[in-house]
């Protein structure tokens, strides 16, 4: 009931602002139209891999056991409006090539970067906006502008729908967006150094990794740094926090994945991964899924 009320409220808000289109539709699982003009799903003995166009982040939906990969489309001046979301099976094969983005009816999605799921809602940052979508239907819900932002990048979302968003270039800050759409600056300046990946830990703290160094910063909800850890390498993009407090950090610059167990120093568990971007954790298969940016691929690391 809570989720239903939330989605209804978001839909009404979007409708009142003129952003909700009645003709919006999502794409179908992979298939084709046969000679009789009937669309048939791809047979189970076929697997297709790919369907990415500069995928920078992913998030995992355990209810459907699917990976949601965010795709930038053609990276031009930010006005192309050709971003899309692919649904990917846990083995890396394609479920739906374009789930959100098969048409542009009622959809504005340019260059989606970081993404997160909370409360039945898919959140992504996109050229100055925080955008949200119904996780079940793909329906656009809301777009919140982030004034003063330059490159919105990583995002973590709490259970109540509060979003924490990194702005990687000047101003190097973490923005906070409340469920009602109120925007404020949560953290500003050092020790942030080109902040990128953001995650929420099991105590509701906000974990941030930097591209500019190897620091892994944990902020409490009041905006105070309560813990500083270090990945094995700098240039970091993705961060996930497991239920036992173990953190995994991916370096987009140097291609490694660090594991930081509670109270221990970082160890490299995978390396040589080109452009290892904003990864997600597949909690069903117990694996990390890592988008590879301009390599148009996903990497899988079993844990």
Burial of 103 (0-12, 13-18, 19+ CB in 10 A): middle
Contact 166, 153 (CB under 8 A): yes
* Domain ranges, residue 7: 2-27+48-302
Q: In CATH, what number is assigned to the domain containing residue 290?
A: 2.120.10.30
Q: How many residues does the chain have?
A: 303
pLDDT, tens digit (0-9, with 9 covering 90-100), for 257-266: 999 999 999 9
* Mean pLDDT in residue range 211-218: 98
User: How is residue 76 written in tokens?
Assistant: 């031009």
Residue 262 lies in a domain: yes
Residue 290 lies in a domain: yes
17 pLDDT higher than 50:
no
Residue 260 lies in a domain: yes
**CA quadruple 132, 75, 23, 15: dihedral, nearest 10:** 40
* Mean pLDDT in residue range 278-285: 98
Which residues make Cβ contacts (< 8 Å) with residue 88, sequence separation at least 6? Answer: 51, 58, 66, 67, 68, 69, 94, 95, 298
pLDDT, tens digit (0-9, with 9 covering 90-100), for 140-171: 999 999 999 999 999 999 999 999 999 999 99
Residue 226 lies in a domain: yes
Domains in the chain, number:
1
109 pLDDT higher than 60:
yes
pLDDT at 10: 42
Predicted confidence band of residue 8 (pLDDT cuts 50, 70, 90): very low
Contact 280, 67 (CB under 8 A): yes
pLDDT, tens digit (0-9, with 9 covering 90-100), for 168-207: 999 999 999 999 999 999 999 999 999 999 999 999 999 9
The vertex-255 CA angle with 193 and 252, nearest 5°, equals 35
Residue 34 lies in a domain: no
**CA quadruple 236, 240, 241, 243: dihedral, nearest 10:** -160
Distance CA 223, CA 301 (A): 32
Q: How far is CA 209 from CA 71, 199, 300, in A?
A: 22, 9, 21
Least confident of 81-85, 93-97, 104-108, 243-247: 104-108
Distance CA 8, CA 103 (A): 23
**Whose structure tokens read 């660090």?**
258
User: Backbone phi, then psi, for 64, in 5-degree steps?
Assistant: -100, -5
């Amino acid at each position: 009931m809570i989720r239903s009320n939330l989605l209804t409220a978001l839909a009404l808000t979007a409708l009142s602002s003129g952003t909700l289109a009645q003709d919006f539709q999502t794409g179908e699982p992979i298939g084709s139209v046969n000679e009789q003009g009937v669309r048939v799903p791809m047979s189970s003995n076929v697997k297709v891999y790919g369907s990415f166009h500069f995928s920078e982040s992913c998030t995992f939906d355990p209810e459907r056991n699917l990976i949601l990969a965010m795709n930038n489309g053609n990276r031009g001046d930010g006005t192309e409006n050709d971003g899309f979301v692919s649904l990917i099976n846990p083995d890396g094969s394609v479920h739906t090539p374009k789930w959100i983005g098969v048409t542009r009816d009622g959809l504005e999605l340019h260059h989606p970067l970081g993404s997160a799921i909370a409360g039945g809602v898919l959140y992504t940052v996109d050229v100055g906006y925080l955008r949200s979508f119904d996780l079940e239907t793909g329906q656009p819900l809301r777009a919140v502008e982030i004034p003063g932002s330059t490159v919105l990048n990583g995002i973590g979302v709490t259970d109540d729908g509060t979003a924490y968003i990194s702005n990687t270039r000047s101003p190097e800050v973490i923005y906070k967006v409340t469920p009602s759409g109120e925007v404020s600056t949560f953290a500003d300046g050092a020790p942030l150094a080109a902040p990128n990946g953001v995650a929420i830990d099991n105590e509701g703290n906000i974990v941030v990794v930097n591209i500019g160094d190897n620091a892994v910063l944990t902020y409490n909800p009041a905006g105070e740094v309560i813990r500083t850890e270090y990945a094995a390498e700098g240039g970091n993009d993705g961060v996930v926090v497991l239920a036992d407090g173990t953190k995994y950090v991916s370096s987009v610059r140097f291609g490694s994945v660090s594991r930081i167990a509670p109270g221990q120093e970082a160890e490299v568990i995978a390396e040589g991964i080109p452009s290892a971007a904003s990864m997600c954790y597949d909690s069903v298969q117990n694996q990390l899924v890592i988008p590879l940016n301009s390599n148009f691929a996903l990497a899988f690391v079993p844990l």
